[in-house]
Amino acid sequence: MKKTNVDLIVGASILTSLFILVAGVLWLKEASVAQRMVTYTVLFREVGTLQLGDPVFANGVKKGTVAKIGLRGTEVAVVLNVDNNVPITDSTTVAVVNVGLLGERGIGATLTSAGKKVPHNTNTDTVFIRGRFDSGISEAMGMLGTVLAQAETLIVNVADVLEATVADSSFIHKFHMMMGRLDTISNVTNRMLIRNEPVLNAAMADLKTVSSDLKALVDRNSAGLDNIVTGGQDLMVRGNMMVSQAESLVVSVQDVIKRIESGEGTLGKLYKNDEFYEDIKYTITNIDSLVNEIKNDALHLRVKIGFGKKKKK
């Protein structure tokens, strides 16, 4: 009887221990037995120090973990194990973010009410979501090393410049020489200004007088200038009118020529009538013949008249 009681106590202790162990594991993983998980695949240009099991946050609330990381061509495909209640749409922003001071990484999803819901992965279909990479502490430390190297190079260059200038005795001598020459030039310029101050004042006074006289001249003849400007404007208007009339005349002449060439009107009919041309040509030929005959008959007549006269005794 005692042995049976001991066995029951040992069995109950083992079962209690197993229950506590399972409950503790579930609590540490922040998992829920009733929670249904689905997977999404996100493509990143790079993921930095992201590891399997890193958390997935939806608007700052942990809703899953990183289930798988692998290369897909030149990009990184990350499979996320996410709570089915998280509304992932095509407007959701998914990024690799920094979640700790020591460079720990995670996935951050910024949810929005806009967009179309993205279906989760199935056994036969996989939908890829485009993600981005946010630089974190590790990238900043790497950039800090590059900046320190560049700063060291800059310091070395500055030291070389200082060695070639301030620390060089010949440069200091040339610098003092240049400053002395600059002082000399400044003194000479100052003396020239002092000696020629009356001349400069007189020139400025003359310039002021000329400006005043020119202003007075313009004021006195402002009416005449206005008339000249007005006359010029009228002349331009009349010139434009003459040009317009000339263009109209050219258009009219061209229209008349076209009408003549097309045979319209008296001139057009005469221009197109070949028989009229032949008649004129024939008439001119006959007139030439008649004129020649008249000239010959007149010559015969003058000869007859000359020979028919009797001489006076």
- The reply to whether 109 and 88 lie within a common domain is yes
> What is the DSSP secondary-structure string of 66-118?
EEEEEEETTEEEEEEEEETTS--BTT-EEEEEE-STT--EEEEEE--S-SPBP
Averaged pLDDT of the chain: 80
> Do the domain assignments include residue 284?
no
- The reply to whether 9 and 62 lie within a common domain is no
H or E segment at 166?
none
> Do the domain assignments include residue 63?
yes
- The reply to whether 44 and 15 lie within a common domain is no
* Euclidean distance between CA atoms 277 and 270, whole angstroms: 8
DSSP H helical ranges for the chain: 2-28, 137-164, 169-195, 197-220, 222-261, 265-272, 274-308
> Do the domain assignments include residue 155?
no
> Do the domain assignments include residue 128?
yes
> Do the domain assignments include residue 113?
yes
- The reply to whether 22 and 102 lie within a common domain is no
Give the structural domain span for 25.
Answer: 1-33
* Euclidean distance between CA atoms 76 and 265, whole angstroms: 91
pLDDT value at 308 more than 60 = no
- The reply to whether 39 and 129 lie within a common domain is yes
By the 10 Å C-beta count (0-12 exposed, 13-18 middle, 19+ buried), 258 is classed as: exposed
Q: What is the mean pLDDT of residues 296-305?
A: 58
Q: What is the mean pLDDT of residues 206-227?
A: 84
- Describe the strand order of the beta sheet including 128-130 as a list of residue ranges: 128-130, 37-44, 75-83, 61-72, 55-58, 105-110, 93-98, 132-133
> Do the domain assignments include residue 140?
no
The two tokens of residue 51 are 């590891």
Residue 312 pLDDT: 47
Residue 107 pLDDT: 93
Q: Which residues pair with 243 in a beta bridge?
A: none
Q: What is the mean pLDDT of residues 17-21?
A: 81
Phi, psi angles (nearest 5°) of residue 101: -75, -15
> Do the domain assignments include residue 8?
yes
- The reply to whether 84 and 20 lie within a common domain is no
- The reply to whether 40 and 27 lie within a common domain is no
pLDDT value at 72 more than 70 = yes
Residue 313 pLDDT: 44
Query: End of a domain among 105, 133, 161?
Result: 133
The model's pLDDT over 134-160, given as tens digits with 9 standing for 90+, comes to 876 666 666 777 888 888 888 888 888
Query: End of a domain among 106, 133, 160?
Result: 133
DSSP-assigned letter for residue 180 = H
> Do the domain assignments include residue 165?
no
Q: How far is CA 272 from CA 261, 264, 266, in A?
A: 8, 9, 10
The two tokens of residue 309 are 């006269």
- The reply to whether 24 and 48 lie within a common domain is no
How many structural domains is the chain composed of? 2
pLDDT value at 19 more than 60 = yes
The residue among 159 and 83 whose pLDDT is bigger is 83
- The reply to whether 43 and 126 lie within a common domain is yes
- The reply to whether 73 and 124 lie within a common domain is yes
- The reply to whether 18 and 99 lie within a common domain is no
pLDDT value at 77 more than 90 = yes
The two tokens of residue 128 are 């890829």
The two tokens of residue 66 are 């990183």
- The reply to whether 129 and 43 lie within a common domain is yes
107 contacts 133 by C-beta, under 8 angstroms: no
Query: End of a domain among 70, 101, 133?
Result: 133
